[in-house]
Chains A and B, each alone.
Chain A
Amino acid sequence: MKHLFSLTHPIHLVGGLILWAVWFVAIYAGLSVACSMAPPDPQRGMLTGINIGVGLSTLVTTLLLLWLARAGLVAARRTSVLRERYFAHVSAGIYLFSAGGTLFVGYPVISLPPCL
């Protein structure tokens, strides 16, 4: 099991995107449930608990993914096995993409009211 956590294992090709997907499902589900249970008054615009919650989760997820991307690069530099370096590099790239993707998808919370 331990080698699965090493960033040189190909499982990390999908790690970043799994995190992204879980986050994506969580914010979409959370938003839908919040809007059907307790929709905030449209007068309040963007300053609602929902927007702040989604915004914070976006930042946390982005930072986590960025950290993993960096860790992948470090792992690639440390290993001498060609195969491991290869997977660590590609995984780091995908972690970076996932971080950007998270920020990009979460960005609209600063410009849209949640439930309209």
Chain B
Amino acid sequence: MSDIKDATLTPEIQRLHKGMDEVWGNPKGLRALTVVNHTSIGLRFMVTGAIFFLIGGLLAMLIRTQLAFPDNDFMSPEIYNQVFTMHGTVMMFLFAIPILEGLAIYMIPKMIGARDLVCPRLTAFGYFCYLFGGLILASSLVLEMAPASGWFMYTPLSSGEYAPGPGSDFWLLGITFVEISALSAGVELVVSILRTRTQGMALHKMPLFAWYILAMALMIVVGFPPLILGSILLELERATGMPFFDVAGGGDPVLWAHLFWLFGHPEVYIIFLPGAGIVSTLIPVFAGRPIVGYGWVVAAIVIMGFVSFGLWVHHMFTLGIPQLALAFFSAASMLVAIPTAIQIFVWLSTLWLGRPRMTLPMLWIVGFLVIFVLGGLTGVMLALVPFNWQVHDTHFVVAHMHYVLVGGMLFPLMAGLYYWLPQVSGRMPSERLGKWSFWLIFLGFNVTFLVMHWTGLLGMRRRVFTYDTAMGWDLYNLISSVGGFMMSIGVALLILDIALHFRFGKKAPQNPWGADTLEWAMPKPPTAYNFVSLPEVETRHPLWENPELSRTIYEGRHGLANIQHGRRETWGSDALTGKLRETVHLPSNSWWPLFSALALAAVCVSLLVRVYWVGAVAALVAVVLLLRWSWENGAHPKMAPEASLEPTEPPLHYRTMNGPGVWTMSVSHLANGSLYLSLLFGWFYLWTVAPEWQMPETSPLSMPLLVLAGAALTLGTFVLAGRVRRLRRRNDAGLGGGMYLTGVLGALQSALIGVVIWQAELAPTESAHDATLLVALIYVLLHALLGAILCLLQGLRVGYGLVSAEMPLEPVVVLRLWHYNLVVYWTLFVAIWVMPTLLGGA
């Protein structure tokens, strides 16, 4: 085997490396804030996530200190409630999801043989949204104004009447901000995995980790919008008094529970899937053989991704939902045991048929198995409705969820950390200190949480700040607290170990664990562009089948080994077969992501301190910045210094009709559609279920105006679709005019919707009916405006020569938005005008 050290570098190749460094390299100093590179941003995500983990862990230690003894007055109940609320919130939203996204952002392009994610500036934007949202949320702790309604923020406890302080606002605004980051990462991970795999890597040949991340990303895209909608509605209720969750005004607090858990349950699997992905990556490496039953694992991933959306009600078994409905959800919850068991036995048989080595990463995998299996078993118990009624909201549930989340996420993450550390730093981790920290964390965890099942069975509720000694819970709580502190010592040792290894670790060989995936073919420490040339890969185990690969890649013997043009490039390939389709031209470092995120942060903060006019101005600034950012795209001179290509290379993506941008728009609409469906769900839910819902006899909305607005939208879509059809025939006659015409029609639609809202004289603070109508109308209004603005900008771009028959991609992307608007508008018309009119005021 020969690796990078043995590469022969001709002067030409040396020039290539140098050119790559210039085009892709990170600037230093203040300009480091403009970096968009996935390696750097991925690391930033992970380091920030680790810091939030320490904050969350500190909060956990405060909880365990308070509960160590009966009648303890270490914390007042108000502070205790803030502490446990923030512990859950920080761990779930600011640690678990972002750090896994960070890992995916860092690892996916390397594993699929790409040079970056498909929207690098979006990656950077996502990071800043996460950072600012996290800082806003964390600042509430320092101000002693943290949310105190529990991490699932049940209404009405979190609403204005029972939580008058700003705590809930911190939560709602901060979390929504962080979720923007999750969504943007989700969208680009999906498109990157589907469309930028290296040449020849067909869908069924990609590493299993990519399957797991694909499922996770799609679940983020579909699963997060319900909570975003819920947060918007609750914040509207708190800020303006629209009674979405208030019974007296025709709302229903259970709607919040539905929206929250529609997100909340999939979220558990969003956290688990990447963890399982790490396990599926490491086990074959340390068993020294390919995973057996690749297809079984893919099936299990797909099943988990879907079924996890059918479980949300199992968090609500005691809420008084009809028993038969509970039975459906109970059964669906038990079904998840099957894909989980399939994966566990695939891993077991891989070890069985291989020659497993016990290394430090493998030790963490064994720890994962023990803890996760126990958590899974109590999970099946909890899926049983009558037993759930007993232990729901007790420490039994607290123990269960820590077993699942720590077992399913933290332990695999630690395994991954030790496994990939040499890839990041070029040095090997120590064996001894690492083992100490593993055993302290593993034993400390079990001491804390195994006994906690018992405390729960003895009747201790979750979220109590103290307990009476007569209950007989003293000893068990003390044991849990001791275990918690043991775990903290383990974490401290782990940090020490990682810190020391950067200084004292042995230099790592090229492929220290004998792995099969492409990230080990890279130089160490990693270069910003990953691979100087992009290899053709037609196997699931490129480095096992071709150990020379790291050298030949380094010698520039594969694709896209050219940097004269000064562009950042990676392959665009067919989603299914991996055949080459286009050369994707990626944007470079930029201030726009930071500035846009700053503007959004200003929106958040001004909403928080309730200075709404500043918020409105900041929102406007954010929109302008985002549009300005979008201007520098495609054929813009700042983007494309040169458009020449090698004759063998496929066309640049913006010169095709189906570049990754079309896919990004489609996946974004998956998220948008999920938000819209949640809104429709809220409308029908309140209509049929809310006890005090008032439906007026006749709709307050003007039917002729609604139809007219819809006609403008429909006509606009036809005009736009006609222009795109002509572009397909390489004909751009009348393109600019068509774009302006469509834009005007969009503006007309917006104006008409505005008139409908104005004429309806809604009383959104009086009734949930009017409030929901208003939100729905504003939703379509914003979409109409966006459609109009984008078309007008397209008209301008045609004038500047940035869009033409040679560069036809952008109108195709905009057409997707119009199609979406068309479907949403007319279905909404049926839901809010036709159905109430037909069914009458019920």
Contacts and interface: CB of A to CB of B under 8 A. Distances in A.
A90 B328 CA distance: 26
A64 interface: no
B689 A97 contact: no
A17 B181 CA distance: 28
Contacts of B689: 32, 36
Given A17-B306, A33-B688, A83 B202 contact: yes
A115 interface: yes
B323 A112 contact: yes
B299 A97 contact: yes
A36 B842 CA distance: 12
Given A33-B688, A101-B307, A105-B331, A93 B299 contact: yes
B324 A112 contact: yes
* Interface bracket on A: 35 or more
Interface in B565-587: 576-577
Given A36-B689, A101-B335, A24 B295 contact: no
B310 A24 contact: yes
B688 A10 contact: no
B322 A21 contact: no
A35 interface: yes
Contacts of B327: 108, 112
A21 B324 contact: no
B332 interface: yes
B724 to A, nearest CB: 18
A17 B303 contact: yes
B309 A109 contact: no
Given A20-B306, A36-B689, A97 B328 contact: no
Contacts of A35: 322
A37 B324 CA distance: 16
A24 B306 CA distance: 11
A115 B322 contact: yes
A67 interface: no
Given A21-B309, A105-B332, A97 B338 contact: yes
Contacts of A108: 324, 327-328, 331
B203 interface: yes
Interface in B293-330: 295-296, 298-299, 302-303, 305-307, 309-310, 322-325, 327-328
B501 interface: no
Given A24-B332, A107-B331, A108-B327, A31 B322 contact: yes
A36 B689 CA distance: 6
Interface residues of B, number: 30
Contacts, number: 92
B797 interface: no
Given A83-B202, A97-B303, A105-B332, A31 B324 contact: yes
Given A32-B688, A97-B338, A113 B324 contact: yes
Given A14-B302, A17-B302, A89-B295, A32 B325 contact: yes
Given A87-B204, A112-B323, A104 B299 contact: no
A90 B299 contact: yes
A21 B311 CA distance: 11
Interface string A22-45: 001001110111011100000000
B204 A86 contact: yes
Contact of A14 (B296, B306, B310, B324): B306
B83 to A, nearest CB: 36
B688 A37 contact: yes
Given A31-B325, A33-B688, A97-B303, A105 B335 contact: yes
A20 B331 CA distance: 13
Nearest to A50: B324
Nearest to B218: A14
Contact of A10 (B203, B323, B325, B335): B203
A89 B576 CA distance: 16
A64 B733 CA distance: 49
B303 A94 contact: yes
Nearest to B295: A90
Contacts of B303: 17, 94, 97
Given A13-B299, A14-B302, 18 more contacts: A17-B305, A18-B306, A24-B332, A31-B324, A31-B325, A33-B688, A50-B324, A54-B324, A83-B203, A90-B295, A90-B298, A93-B295, A94-B303, A104-B334, A105-B331, A105-B335, A108-B324, A114-B322
Interface of B: 202-204, 295-296, 298-299, 302-303, 305-307, 309-310, 322-325, 327-328, 331-332, 334-335, 338, 576-577, 684, 688-689
24 contacts: A10-B203, A17-B302, A17-B306, A20-B310, A21-B309, A21-B310, A24-B310, A28-B328, A31-B324, A31-B325, A32-B688, A32-B689, A36-B688, A37-B688, A87-B204, A90-B299, A93-B299, A94-B299, A97-B338, A104-B331, A105-B331, A105-B335, A107-B331, A115-B322
Q: Which 8 A-B pairs have the closest CB atoms?
A: A108-B327, A17-B306, A105-B331, A112-B324, A90-B295, A115-B322, A114-B324, A93-B299
